[in-house]
Amino acid sequence: MLQTRQEPIADDRKILVIEDSRTFSLALRQFLEAETGLPVTTCGSLKDLSELIVAAPGAYAIAVVDLNLPDAPRGEALDWTVTHGIPSVVFTATFDLATRGRIMEREVIDYVLKDNELALPNLVGTVKRALDNRNTRILVVDDTRTTRKVLARMLAIQQYAVVEAGSGQEALAMLDANPDIQLVVSDYYMPDMDGFELARRIRRLHPKVRLLGISSSTDRKTSAGFLKAGAHDFVSRPFVLEELQCRIASNVETLAQLKQLQDLAARDFLTGLFNRRHFFENGRRLVDEARAMGVPVSIAILDIDHFKRLNDRHGHDGGDKALMAVARSLSASAERGFNLLARFGGEEFAILFPGADLDEAVRLCDGIRETIARESQALGDEALALTVSLGVAEIGPDDELDASLNRADRALYSAKQKGRNRVDTAAA
């Protein structure tokens, strides 16, 4: 399908903070709203909490719960949030093994201790991770249904999106059908193939997916077997719940860091748009997908008019501001649907329009040109009106992307020769 990226899951709900210290509650509210973008509702007692939940059931995406309140000294506030289905993070100054047991048996996301100066940022980080976990799909593979359900439930409490498979073959089929699966948690013993073989196949067929092996085997070589087969981590059964949670969170964090690095490598540093390399790597795929679906596809080259004159007059800083202004306008008007937008270098940008024939692409480009011409960019004390020229070509059934790009470039040259601030088309 013609989709270049997965959009994050939107949530219009609130964060609920239950904390009796007004000073700490205010600081936490400001920190959470700044870091998550979600509104925060605060209360300082079990009475206020019960009234809020009854008045607006389903309004809260996550709760931060102080374990000990004046009218709820034994974690009664946590009972309220958990009973009403609100994912909860516990924040407590009182902690021992008995308290830990009471917290964990209530199926909370995590607990954070009020024991050092990093407590507040640690708490906010825990909330952010839990919210982000909803964008991470994990596949649990185990042929024993009860064991599989227990593990899936633990992951669901952590807010991950969870799917399940009862065999190796079913797991591979799930991976083929769900390309958004990012992590596989697999048992070793399965009837059709063991965890080693599944790890090898995943590594070969789905190299971007991470795998964590689990086994109750007493053979200490099992962990080495998983890792040598391609797994990224291993946990022995019976596992300590918090250890498993930490290992999964660590692998998810690694995935996020890899994605960030890949995104940085694909982006132009100045404008934040995709770069020339990303355009070619993904443009050919989009063209092939459009052809397979039987829809047209066109390409355009855009160039800022008189850019050298602008640079000479306002310096490179002025030129950079003009480039960023055009990039912002293009992001708003061209980077939508399945379109692929990139900065090619200098003052030149490229746009791929899957689903648009030549006439439609010209109409879209003319709208882009008019939008940019209407806007002005402040350079010092001067308001500078920018204009752009565009060349457009339709990519035929047998055309290569490079050849079509060259035709669009010739059309761009023609547009400049005819006076600039216009759209011209390439001859077939």
Residue 285's CB is within 10 A of a number of other CB atoms, namely 12
Q: Which residues contact 115 (CB under 8 A, 6 or more apart)?
A: 93, 95
Which residues, other chains included, contact 294 with Cβ-Cβ below 8 Å and sequence gap of 6+? none
DSSP 222-242: HHHHHHHHT-SEEEESSPPHH
Catalytic residue (choose from 76, 242, 347, 348): 347
Planar angle of CA 28, 52, 23, nearest 5 degrees: 25
211 by DSSP, 3-state: which?
Answer: strand
Pairwise CA distance, residues 123 & 354, whole Å: 44
- 347 catalytically annotated: yes
Burial, 156: exposed, middle or buried (Cβ in 10 Å; 0-12, 13-18, 19+)? middle
Residue 294 Cα distances to 280, 288, 360, 403, 416, angstroms:
21, 10, 16, 20, 33
Please say whether the beta carbons of 324 and 270 come within 8 A: yes
Residues with catalytic function: 347
